Amino acid sequence: MAGTELLTTDEMRRADAAAIAAGMPGLDLMRRAGAAVAARARAMTGRGPILVLCGPGNNGGDGFVAARLLAEAGIAVEVALLGDRAALRGDAAAAAAEWTGPVSEAAGAEPAGFSLVIDALFGAGLSRPLDGAAAALVARVDGSGVPVLAVDVPSGLDGDTGAPRGPVVNATATVTFVRKKPGHLLLPGRRLCGSVTVAEIGIPAAVLAEIGAEAHANGPDLWGAAFPRLTEESHKYTRGHAVVLSGPAHRTGAARLAARGALRIGAGLVTLLSPTPALPENAAQLTAIMLRPCDSADDLDDTLTDERLNAIVAGPGLGSGAPTRDLVRVATEAGRGLVLDADALTSFAGKADDLVEMIASGDTRAVATPHDGEFARLFKGVTAVPAEGSRLDRARAAAAFLDAVVVLKGADTVIAAPDGRAAINTNGTPWLGTAGSGDVLCGFIGGLLAQGMPPFEAAAAAVWLHAEAGRRHGPGLISEDLPEQMPAVLGALLERLGAV
């Protein structure tokens, strides 16, 4: 998982402090950071003039270093400082002393006419909204139409949440250091940062390991080691058997989408459990997926006496209310891999404590996959799960409350485990915004659970693969297309993992 870590602003401060305590001078770290900014600036524009806006802290120090290096490379540079140069302290003051050119007042800086603005005003640790001269300067930068390179994060952006703290710079590109921060990936921060470059500045890997970051960027480097591989001895019974609960007649399509997803992602067998009146409707559209009648929680209990049925998908098109809660109770007591989506979550609106008790009743490997509306309904009134704030914090709180993996779906989907691990997905696409897309996703998760992937890794892998399928198909995507993209997507993944 090396390289996937996301560092909070506090974790980055601790990493800096640990590196300095181990003998790395802070000014050397700043010089390396400034050199990375200068290199990125030269890649963005080979000509001047460049306006470097420096703030009163270490972010401004990085800007002074970048300005010096750009000037030494023969590029016209102007530096403007927000605040009093005499008030600079520590490494920032030392970096400013190495800049021998003039320094103007940033409060009066006019970005128009420059080829690039370097935003080194405020970094990720900003704790209050920008106001006064700083807010007015940000407005002029954003209104100028000049490309902006942000240092660490665009000024005004919360590096932990991706939320603006009042006025915020809308950057063309961002250079950050050591690792990305959650705010680089969470919306709207992802959009406000533009393309993000991560620069190594000499902080040892051992320091990062000691920090123990628990948030990650989602991708194969995070879960690839746990992804199922086939051997010469593999057969359908070794690849798991997923079951999907179907809704009533005329509401069966969502469950079939989930079942198709589970089969395409590699489950050896998939059975759709259908109410008897819906059997003809389902049978007319199933071939490789098996079909069995299931009219009640008792029927489900009888079916699950077959221990080979090792993963259950419940929710898509299932219907809301007491009968669904009874089905979930049986599914949780069975102690299998379990995906709860849609109606299986909405049925517990106002009854989240009941769902917690059910999950705790069996040795269940549960994954809940709410979108924002389902999340709000399920956790309304639950004080342990905040209704507002960072998606990362809310998903983590929900996972801890349920004692289950939570996939909080959206353009910046967050996957969170009860132990605090979390992943933010980055390869999503608007083409996935179509009816039934989430049903296929929960089928993908169920199919990976059936093959033995742990819940957190299965959920993270399914989210990434789901997005890759959407990106590969592109315009015109409908949910039925997603499972059919999986052979190509899986082929590319397994080649990347060295498994083919």
Torsion from C-alpha of 140, 146, 151, 156, nearest 10 degrees: 30
**Binding site feature residues for AMP:** 409-413, 438
Q: 67 is written with which tokens?
A: 């300005």
Contact criterion met (CB below 8 Å) for 217 and 180: yes
Each residue's pLDDT expressed in tens, for the chain with a length of 500 residues: 558 999 999 999 999 999 999 999 999 999 999 999 999 999 999 788 999 999 999 999 999 999 999 999 999 999 999 999 999 999 999 999 999 999 999 999 999 999 999 999 998 878 889 999 999 999 999 999 999 999 999 999 999 999 998 999 999 999 999 999 999 999 999 999 999 999 999 998 889 889 999 999 999 999 999 999 999 999 999 999 999 999 999 999 999 999 999 999 999 999 999 999 999 999 999 999 999 999 999 999 999 999 999 999 999 999 999 999 999 999 999 999 999 999 999 999 999 999 999 999 888 899 999 999 999 999 999 999 999 999 999 999 999 999 999 999 999 999 999 999 999 999 999 999 999 999 999 999 999 999 999 999 999 999 999 999 999 999 999 999 999 999 999 999 999 999 76
- Count the neighbouring beta carbons within 10 Å of the beta carbon of residue 98: 15
**Binding site feature residues:** 58-62, 119, 123-129, 152, 155, 254, 317, 371, 409-413, 438-439
- Which residues contact residue 489 at a Cβ distance below 8 angstroms, ignoring those fewer than 6 apart? 465, 468, 469, 472
Contact criterion met (CB below 8 Å) for 68 and 99: yes
**Binding site feature residues for (6S)-NADPHX:** 58-62, 123-129, 152, 254, 317, 371, 439
What CA–CA distances, in Å, run from 186 to 6, 81, 373, 387? 11, 30, 18, 17
pTM of the model: 0.96
Contact criterion met (CB below 8 Å) for 186 and 214: no
- Which residues contact residue 68 at a Cβ distance below 8 angstroms, ignoring those fewer than 6 apart? 34, 98, 99, 100
**Binding site feature residues for K(+):** 59, 119, 155
Phi, psi of 65 (to 5 degrees): -60, -50
Q: Which residues pair with 272 in a beta bridge?
A: 244, 291
Give burial (CB, 10 Å; 0-12/13-18/19+) of 435.
exposed
Between CA 34 and CA 51 the distance in angstroms is 15
Please, what is the end-to-end C-alpha distance for the chain in angstroms?
Answer: 21
Which of these, 489, 480, 438, 485, lies nearest to 459 by C-alpha position?
438
Between CA 417 and CA 218 the distance in angstroms is 13
